[in-house]
Amino acid sequence: MKVEINDIHINEAEHIFIKGNEFDKKERIPFIKNLETCDLLAVPGSGKTTALMAKLYCLSKQLPFKDGSGILVLAHTNSTVNEIEKELKKHCPNLFEYPNFIGTIQSFVNKFLANPANFIKYDSYIAKNDDEIYKKEVADFFYNKLQWKKKEDVSQKLKNLLYGKANHNRSNITTIEKNENTIDFIFYLKFDLINRKILYGEKDTTLFKFGGCANDHYLEIENWKEGLLRNGILSYKDSFLLAKWYLHNFPNIKLQLQHRFKYVFVDEMQDLEKYQIDIIDDVFLDKESKTIIQRIGDPSQSIYNRVRDKCDWEPRNIKYLNGSNRLSSKNAELVNCFKYRNEEENFKVVGERKLSKGEKEIHPHLVLFTKETKEQLKSKFEEIIKSHNLHNIEEKKKGFKIIGWTGERTNEGDGHLCLHTVFGYNKLSKAKKEDFDSLSKYLQLFNQEKETLEAVRKSILNALITILRFEDKRILKKIRGRSVDHFYTKNDLIGYIKEYSNNGVYEDFKDKLFYWCFDLVSSKNYRLVFNSVKKFIENELKEWFDLKLNHKTQLFIFEFTDEKKIKNKKIVEDNLGIEIATVHAVKGQTHCATMYVETAYKKPIYETLKLKEASSNKSIKKQQLKTIPLYKQKQSCETPTGIEALKMMYVGFSRPTHLLCFAVLEENVKDDLAKFRSADWIVNDDLVKKIKL
């Protein structure tokens, strides 16, 4: 029986998700009702995730499907998955039960493909799937396991070969930098598990292969890699390499997944890389598959991956959401000029935010400043906000933010700007990160958005099993009828302590764990708890597991560092609660007012200069034909850095509902102010006048 979306359920969704307003009949209703394979290109502020949630709500009312299949919903980031879960779970809890699955691409691949693959091939489930942990293993391999060629050696050593390949044509750099280059080179190697090849570079050039002329080198690096996989330690990309091997050797898995998931919805498609897209297509897109796949995104917002002329996602059977409920017509007109797919004429940013009674649309503001007056940008932004009375309107709850491309720079002494040098910004701790390199971080950087003790309890237990991994403590378990030797999980740790003794050891541990959690969450006694946990590790844990407390463990528990001073939370020092963040951090957000500050990144240094650079072709004719989106001209960027700036500004400029400010160094635009004014910018030069007085 064919599934169709019911108008009654759409009406219910309107009351739940858009406060009883109606979805428009031109774009959103057709998308919600569409249950055919297609791609949706959606402009910033179009409410694409809301429209997707409305569709999911309507489909949930028809669950379970008669053929026993379910719905698969995937996104690139945890934040989008959390948003969907937060809004949907209370209204349709059945969507979060078998046979449905809602999660990131990474979590889907791990659960259904990589985890079983790693167990079959290496007798271990995934223990740590984290690039930072994997990179530490790479560094350990380079510094402690690989050997340099000695004078008496006849043949070249693997370490020398990797070092030479990583630093080819790189002169005038230090030995430390060359070592770091080599570690990066090893980190990005791809392991073709099907053909037993080791590949590198964008073109997947073969570095070594089994049976090749450098077979000894291949086996040396393969043995190291397989050792990690046997211990369940994977980089994020390793999951996809394992998944590819699994699908190659067990093709029936595709049929099982196709039968399980009748509908597949993928949000944030623009941020996926080719290997991620290929896995989804490999599983669900073939001639025999009856699975419906709908992919949603905006190629102009692909700012997470390496910038190319086009992102890895190539839309097919395209539908459009052009209307932006966030943007006013003037801001939308400007943002539309920053689209990087000019050839896509049917895709355009149209401002559809309705003005409230008596509201006048605010023109974008160009705020000029100098390096001497940069510290006054925040107060200037506050002044402009108040001049338009935005601090007194209901939409102020969406917040006021200052954003920039570059948060911090390693070479800040050169005088070029970043958010740190202008506003004192520091990176935020990763909201969903679970693995850290010290006990101190485990006790401070857990997910503090949770209102229970669950997150901090999980973080403490993760710290303890990390120590057991450093000490190479393993447990022998029967899994699927096979005896498997693997590192302790949190459940294994709890089970071991329960069985350790009958003299109340487990009850004592439970009490300690509760009080640690309670003190961290309620009193934030980080240093006190650190000392208590460290003492527990050096005594009880050491005794229970016969630990040696080796060098890695000693370094891990060595000292307490106040992470809250290093990784500041949101910078709020003014009456309006203005926050400082990178463009990457605010992607997907809506603000009442946004100030985008140009910052230094690569060359040409600043965004305004990047947009002016026509191409690598410096001919006068080429320069004369150059068009600049800041002047409301259709962009003509050709250089990689120009395209990257285009995308950053497209994302940044499309955040505010009411006021957009663009703060630029006067020296970069002083000859172009007439063009800005002709393009409806209000030029504010107060911070330039001050320095001239």
**DSSP annotation string for 589-624:** --EEEEEEEP---SSSSSHHHHHH---S---HHHHH
Percentage, residues of the chain above pLDDT 90: 73
* 429 occurs within a structural domain: no
Quote the domain boundaries for residue 526: 439-557
Distance, in Å, from the CA atom of 64 to the CA atom of 92, rounded to the nearest integer, reads 12
- Convert the pLDDT of each residue in 385-425 to its tens digit: 999 999 999 999 999 999 999 998 877 778 899 999 999 88
Cβ 622 vs Cβ 615: under 8 Å? yes
Query: In this structure, are residues 184 and 169 in contact, taking their beta carbons and an 8 Å threshold?
Result: no
Lowest mean pLDDT among 211-225, 448-462, 465-479, 604-618: 604-618
Q: Per-residue pLDDT for 108 more than 80?
A: yes
418 and 451 housed in the same domain: no
Residue 433 has pLDDT above 80, yes or no: no
- The pTM score is 0.84
Domain shared by 365 and 444, yes or no: no
- Residue 329 falls inside a structural domain: no
Whether 413 is in a domain gets the answer yes
| Predicted pLDDT at 569 | 41
In a domain, 346, yes or no: no
- Spatial distance between the Cα atoms of 102 and 75, rounded to a whole number of angstroms: 8
Q: Look at residues 524, 557, 590 and tell me which one is the last residue of a structural domain.
A: 557
pLDDT for res 620: 67
641 in the same domain as 581:
yes
- Strand partners for 264: 72, 293
What pLDDT is recorded for position 341?
Answer: 72
| Domain of residue 388, CATH code | 3.40.50
Name the more confident of 229 and 434.
229
* Residue 333 placed within a domain: no
Residues 416 and 454 in one domain: no
Whether residue 467 is found in the same domain as residue 543: yes
Q: Do the Cβ atoms of 74 and 267 come closer than 8 Å? A: yes
In a domain, 117, yes or no: no
Query: Considering its fold, how many domains does the chain have in total?
Result: 4
Q: 551 and 604: one domain? A: no
Please, are residues 517 and 532 in contact by the beta-carbon 8 Å criterion? Answer: no
CA dist., res. 83 & res. 80, Å (int): 5
Q: For the stretch 116-149, what's the b/e string if a residue is b when 16 or more beta carbons lie within 10 angstroms of its beta carbon?
A: bbbbebbbbbbbbbbeebbeebbbebbeeebeee
- Asked if pLDDT for residue 502 goes beyond 70, the answer is no
Highest-confidence range of 305-309, 474-478, 665-669, by mean pLDDT?
665-669
Residue that finishes a domain, picked among 271, 302, 321: 321
Query: Is residue 159 assigned to a domain?
Result: yes
* Tokens describing residue 370: 């100098």
Q: How far is CA 20 from CA 6, 13, 16, 444, 597, in A?
A: 17, 8, 7, 42, 37
Give a yes or no: residue 122 inside a domain.
Answer: no
- pLDDT digit string, tens, across residues 560-614: 988 765 544 444 456 788 999 999 999 989 999 999 999 999 888 999 999 987 5
Q: How far apart are CA 333 and CA 397, in angstroms?
A: 25
